[in-house]
Every structure is written in structure tokens, then in C-alpha cells.
Amino acid sequence: MYTLRRKGRTSPEPLTLSRGSVRAKFQAEPGIDPTAPSPQAPALVSGSSPATLAKRRGPLKAPTLVLSRDPQNIYDPTFFTAFANNVPAASPTPTPDVLPSARTFVRNVFTGLLVGMPDGVGNPIPVEFWGFRDPNDPDPLKQATFPSKAIRVVEGEIFHCTLNSSGNTHTIHWHGMEPTPMNDGVGNLTFEVATSYTYQLRASTAGTYFYHCHKNTVLHFEMGMYGLLLVDPPNPSGLGAPLQPPYPSGGPGFVRRGNEIVPYDVEAVWVTDDVDPAWHTRAQILGPNAGFGSGPALDPYPSAGLNVFTPKYFLISGVPQPWCGNPPNDPSHPGVAVTVRVGQTLLVRLLCAAYSLNRFTIQGIDAEIIAMDGRALGQAPYAQYSQPEVIFSGVIFDLTAGRRLDLLIKPTANDIGTHKMGVEFRNYINLQTMGIAETFIQVIQEE
């Protein structure tokens, strides 16, 4: 319910929209009282078991979304206002504002992926991760990974992604994108996907983004339910040029720098994460709703302990540091470390998927920050507020959860050798370092 503040008083009346201006409405199914509390917000009953609560609230039923808007005007603001004030309890089918898409993806929820974490003596400790499986990847080993497989699209195009939930409700939130309200994937603000929903987005701005589950977010994100979302600009030489977006993973490609679109030869995508194995164990035992709710009456598992985060493992792009496989203690693990030749351009995309404060340094080579959080620096009309900025060797820079930086590195003959990129994972309250991860940029001679 929305309340309006009028003349210094809070009106108890819900905000109602003029019927003449609203062309979308929700129609309750027969037998459902539309004024009853949402089925996802059971009445406060102290001491009720989850089974009792489920019985009391009955099966989840979604109100039916009735569309009567002008099909010629997909930007009809009254349609979106109506939606934002009448969010459905479950995913509408089909997608309410569906348009032809240039690219389609499928992501199926999976659990039970075991990733070995270092125990210090070479016996990896299995920790369970969850994520989004790509059933269309021809290589079965690349379907279900941690982090989840990247989605790569082209600036300006509309894309669809169908989420198939299982075991629980989940969502996909498109972090940094600007979708319509029903495609934003924030469970508490729109709907959680119980079975299947096709998200629709327009990739308006080239840059580095990520997608993640936004149901019981603090736990599901920690469990690994995220992947990169990369939006590529066009090849500035036009459609006839040999290299067209989406560009291949690892390079070469093109990226926005200020008002230009510039080439790069090699691409490194580094995602930092910190893992508290106690959270993963509790999620395994208590299930996806562990810690969900706002107090003992709503939370069937108030002992989930999500108020205490004590990470023990520190990863770059899903590879624990130190790497615990074969060879052990090798930060040059090929899944992470990158090699670039003198004269080439390296694009590094950084995503902080850790909950701790990440303090980065790159030793022995300079890097230029060209974009932050999916927006190129120095791009008109915002060039008066920001410009690309050089980070000199050894200078620290920080990232917090969800932030992204794009860096360009152009090694010269003086840079031949191995340069360490180190990350300190710092407690966000007392700033003490809890762990480190590191990898390398290796610069070799021109061919």
C-alpha cells in the first residue's frame, strides 16, 4: 500500500490512479480476495512451523495481468506506473511488453556444484555453490560453472533471457542496466520466478555489468548465483569490418573510451569473491530461504547466522587463491593470469563480487581507468564531470560489492616481465585484512 503525504499529514488512503489515465490493471482470479495480504507475506504468527505457514497461506496464485495499452506506444508511462503500483506475486506469462529480440539466452538454476577450496596442505575442501546453467552450451563442462557463464550482447540491441527456476523461487537482476520495472528482477520489488520467466532488456550502454539472483540476495549471491554481463560497442569501421560484436571472450574487440571506440587485443575479466564456508553449509542444510524474512515470526530459520560474515577463502574468477589444485600455490593459473605482447592493448574488466572492501594494486605497470560501473569516463555530455584516469604502478584503488572498473594497459618494451595484481580483502567495519588474492599480467616481446 502506498500512502500520500498531504499538507503535512499522512493520508491513510492508498494512492489511486485516475482510471481514465491507466490502461493496465490487475484482475484478481475468481475466489481470491484482492485486498487480502500478499501470499508471500503470511500473517505474523509466532511459533508457526514453515509447514503450518505454507498450509495457512495456501498455494501461490498470481493475479492475472490484463494488458490494454496502445501497442504502438511501448513507452506509455501510465502502463509502467500502473505496473509499479500493482506488482504481481508471481511471474507474468508471457513477458508483458515483449518485443522482437536480437539475441536470446536461457539460464536454469542449479545447485550442488562442488568447488575445491585450499586447506593449506593440498587436500581441496569441497564447498557447494549454486548458479545459472546455460543448457545451450555445446560443452557440458561449461554449462554450470562458478561464476555462472557470461552473457555478451551488443550495444543498442534488445535481448531476452529465460530464467527457469527450480527448488525455490529465484530472480535475475541485471546490475547497472535500466530495464522496465517488470524486467528488473528484484524479488521484493517485482516478482520472484517460481517456474519460468523471460526477461527483456535493451543493452543501451556498452560496458561491464553483471547479472545475479535477487531473491534472499545476501545468501543466494554468496552461493555464487551471478555471472558477467558484457555489452560491446559496434566496430567503428562499420558493419563490413571483419570483427563484429559480440566480441570473443579474451579479445580482440572494441571498447568505449571517452567519445571514441578504441581497439584492444587481449581481454582479462577478473571477478573477486570471498567465501564464508559456514554460510554455504547452512544453505545446504536449511535451503534457499535460510535467513529470509524480517524476524523470527517470518523467518523459519532465524539461526542462519547471516549477520556474521567470516570469509575464509578468497577467489579471482572462481579460482581460489592460492590455487589448491595442480600445481598448488600458483597465481599464474591459466583461468586467471593473462599474457600480453609489447605494443598490444590489454583490457582488464574488474568486478567486485566480494562482500569485503577490496583494495587493489598493480605492480610495475601503469593502467588507465576508462570506465566505472558500466559507464565510460569522459563521455559527452558528462565529460565535464569525469575523464579517464591513470593509476600509476603500486597506487591503491578500492572497490566494494557490485562495483566494476575497466582498465586499459599498453605495455612498452620497458614493461617486459611479470606484474602482480594483488587484492586485499578488508573487513568493511574495522578495515583489517582478512585475506589476499593475486594474479599476474605477463608482458612478453613483440612477435
Residues forming contacts to Cu ion in the complex (CB under 5 A) are 170, 213, 215, 220, 225
What residues are paired with 415 via a beta bridge? none
Cα–Cα nearest to 201, from 146, 160, 141, 156: 160
Q: Please answer whether residues 229 and 177 qualify as being in contact, where contact means their C-beta atoms are separated by less than 8 angstroms.
A: yes
Q: Please answer whether residues 198 and 95 qualify as being in contact, where contact means their C-beta atoms are separated by less than 8 angstroms.
A: yes
Least Cβ distance, residue 193 to Cu ion (angstroms): 9
- Cα distance between residue 230 and residue 226, in whole Å: 13
Burial 16-51 (b: 16+ CB within 10 A, else e): eeeeeebbbebeeeeeeeeeeeeeeebeeeeebeee
Least Cβ distance, residue 171 to Cu ion (angstroms): 7
Backbone angles phi, psi at 167, to 5 degrees: 80, -25
Strands 148-154 and 226-232: parallel
Q: Which residue has the closest beta carbon to Cu ion?
A: 213
Least Cβ distance, residue 231 to Cu ion (angstroms): 23
Least Cβ distance, residue 332 to Cu ion (angstroms): 33
Q: Which is nearer to Cu ion, 151 or 399 (CB)?
A: 151
- Cα distance between residue 162 and residue 176, in whole Å: 19
Least Cβ distance, residue 110 to Cu ion (angstroms): 11
Least Cβ distance, residue 235 to Cu ion (angstroms): 36
Q: Which is nearer to Cu ion, 65 or 213 (CB)?
A: 213
Q: Which is nearer to Cu ion, 225 or 304 (CB)?
A: 225
Q: Which is nearer to Cu ion, 224 or 233 (CB)?
A: 224
- Cα distance between residue 437 and residue 313, in whole Å: 9
Q: Which is nearer to Cu ion, 217 or 418 (CB)?
A: 217
Least Cβ distance, residue 286 to Cu ion (angstroms): 14
Q: Which is nearer to Cu ion, 185 or 331 (CB)?
A: 185
Q: What single DSSP character describes residue 147?
A: S
Q: Which is nearer to Cu ion, 115 or 399 (CB)?
A: 115
